[in-house]
Amino acid sequence: MQENIVHAITLFMNKFNVMNSPSLKLGVIFFEEEEHVVAYCPALDLYTQGKDLDDAKKMFENAVDIYLKEITESGTYKEVLLDLGWKMANAQSKELVPPEILGYYQQKFQVPFRK
């Protein structure tokens, strides 16, 4: 499973100078929703789901592969990624770097319901 996603990302990075690195780390958040496990990647604003965690990981791998192919083949990868918060590595470089997930926090809120 991991080999396919690494391969797709490596091809993407090599073709479009996304980063000078053999790998790209993308933060993925997994959570349960009803009877499924949802995978969400903020750096790509990409959701997918599976019947369990392993299935959600496989579905995420497929979704990333399709997503990267689509934005590269359409020639919109740079605009799409910049709109998603990716940054240029430096002023002289054409390399793009994804935003990182800095942390996870749950805040409790009191919701006023009318009776």
Give the pLDDT confidence of 55-75 residue by residue, as tens digits.
999 999 999 989 988 998 898
> Taking 70 as the threshold, does the pLDDT of residue 112 lie above it?
yes
Among all chains, which residue has been given the structure tokens 């934005």?
A: 71
Q: What mean pLDDT do residues 8-36 have?
A: 69
Q: What mean pLDDT do residues 65-94 have?
A: 88
Q: What does the alpha-carbon distance between residue 72 and residue 4 come to, in Å, rounded to a whole number? A: 17
pLDDT at residue 11, rounded to an integer: 56
> Taking 90 as the threshold, does the pLDDT of residue 94 lie above it?
no
The pTM assigned to this predicted structure is 0.72
Q: Where are the domains of the chain?
A: 2-97
> Taking 50 as the threshold, does the pLDDT of residue 78 lie above it?
yes
pLDDT at residue 19, rounded to an integer: 44
> Taking 80 as the threshold, does the pLDDT of residue 40 lie above it?
yes
Q: What mean pLDDT do residues 98-111 have?
A: 88
pLDDT at residue 76, rounded to an integer: 92
Alpha helices in the chain (DSSP H): 2-16, 53-73, 77-83
